[in-house]
Amino acid sequence: MPTHGTRKEILARFLQEVWNEGSLEAVERYVAPRYTVHHDPGDPWDGKQLSLEEYKDRLVRSRAPFPDERFTIRELFEDGGAVVATWVWTGVHTGDLAGFPASGKAISMSGITVYYFDGDRVTGHWQVVDRLGVFRQLQHLAQAAR
């Protein structure tokens, strides 16, 4: 079980083990049996409720174009049942994404996520990421490759 630690500590370990390392086994320890993507514009799972198996599928598919992706937490804020993370993400674009073929180049993105907890487990999130910034980097790389 994850526990032993504050929710900020749990969230930092969740981001490291699940999203940075891609551990499917860690999903079972950190994620609630029903997980709700409350708001995440541009994410294919926006608005959906996910079982643990569906969460694992989202993890695998999301990481596929950027297998070395890494979320670096900038700050964490805790209030009520939620922890808010500001973060910067980096990844090398080694798989196709939204019509852009793999470029082999590093991409970066910033975002802010509100994670809701039930006990020690995350039950959902409300997130906004700078997807226009990513889109422009991918466009630039595609043009440079012509």
For binding to a copy of itself (CB under 8 A), which residues are involved? Answer: 39, 41-42, 74-75, 77-80, 82, 84, 86, 110-114, 126-133, 135
Please tell me the distance from the alpha carbon of residue 104 to that of residue 52, in angstroms, as a whole number. 31
CB nearer a copy of itself, residue 7 or residue 56: 7
Q: Are 141 and 93 in contact (CB under 8 A)?
A: yes
Q: Quote the CA–CA distance of 14 and 23 in Å, as a whole number.
A: 10
Q: How far is the CB of 68 from a copy of itself (least distance, A)?
A: 22
What's the rounded Cα separation, in Å, for the pair 25 and 47?
A: 24
Q: Residue 130 Cβ, how far from a copy of itself at the closest point, in Å?
A: 5
Distance CA 59, CA 141 (A): 25
Q: How many helices (H) and strands (E) does the chain have?
A: 4, 6
Element housing 56 (H / E): helix 52-63
Nearer to a copy of itself, 64 or 114 (CB): 114
CB of 23 to a copy of itself, least distance (A): 26
Q: Which is nearer to a copy of itself, 52 or 112 (CB)?
A: 112
Decide whether 106 or 135 has the Cβ nearer to a copy of itself.
135
Q: How far is the CB of 25 from a copy of itself (least distance, A)?
A: 30
